[in-house]
A and B are shown apart, each in its own frame.
Chain A
Amino acid sequence: MLRAHAPAGLGRWLAGAALCVAYGSALSATTPFTAPADALVAIPLAVAVGVVARRWRVRRRPAPAGGAGGAGGARPRAGWWTMWAALAGTVLAWELACFARSPRHAYPTLSALLDSLDATRLGKTAAGAAWLALGWYLVRR
């Protein structure tokens, strides 16, 4: 068969990427506050809830020690986790600082920046595809 020598996950990866782009393209044709937009967003949400619930039922045993942390190899030192936490905290603090000020045009929040991206068909396609891919990454673990 064709896939005998193909990298194991390549076909699945390509299919997933195509699905994400197709979904993003469909999403970019909708307008917020309409039933089509609600329905199109609700589908992955429902699927995510189902997948997570199923995985939680199946996986009763905790992950093996050292399983968290990605591709294996050397374990990162604790200080690096602190760095990411500090970075996340800084982003959150700046988001709140922008949110508390007005006008929004002068102090854009992440939502406002995302709105700018969503203003174009291509941008909304990319954002929708990225959102779906992120969701898949989060629920499949």
Chain B
Amino acid sequence: MSARDATLAVWAGLGALVVAAEVAALVSRRRIPGLGAVLDRVGSRRAGQAALVLGWMWLGWHAFAR
């Protein structure tokens, strides 16, 4: 297995964990918080919302404009 394959495998594993946690949140009827609830909680304060929006802005600039 090459270094690239191993790196991609870890990324895939982390992605699968996120998807599994989100599915668990759906199945538990929100007793387990999903990503949306996490974003809501972080963004419930101004500083949190500012950080999220700034991160989103950076992501768009970095990915599409640079």
Contact = CB atoms under 8 A, between A and B. Distances in A.
A73 to B, nearest CB: 5
A36 to B, nearest CB: 10
Report the interface size class on chain B.
Answer: 35 or more
Interface in A15-48: 27, 30, 32-33, 37-38, 40-42, 44-45, 48
Main secondary structure of the interface of A (DSSP, over half): helix
Given A37-B64, A56-B46, A63-B44, A108 B8 contact: yes
Contact of B60 (A72, A90, A105, A135): A135
Interface string B41-56: 1011010011011001
A138 B44 contact: no
Interface string A61-86: 00100011111111011001101100
A5 interface: no
Contacts of B62: 111
26 contacts: A40-B64, A41-B60, A41-B64, A41-B65, A52-B53, A67-B44, A69-B37, A69-B41, A70-B36, A70-B37, A70-B40, A73-B31, A74-B30, A76-B30, A76-B31, A76-B33, A80-B33, A81-B41, A84-B21, A94-B14, A106-B3, A111-B62, A124-B64, A127-B64, A138-B39, A141-B49
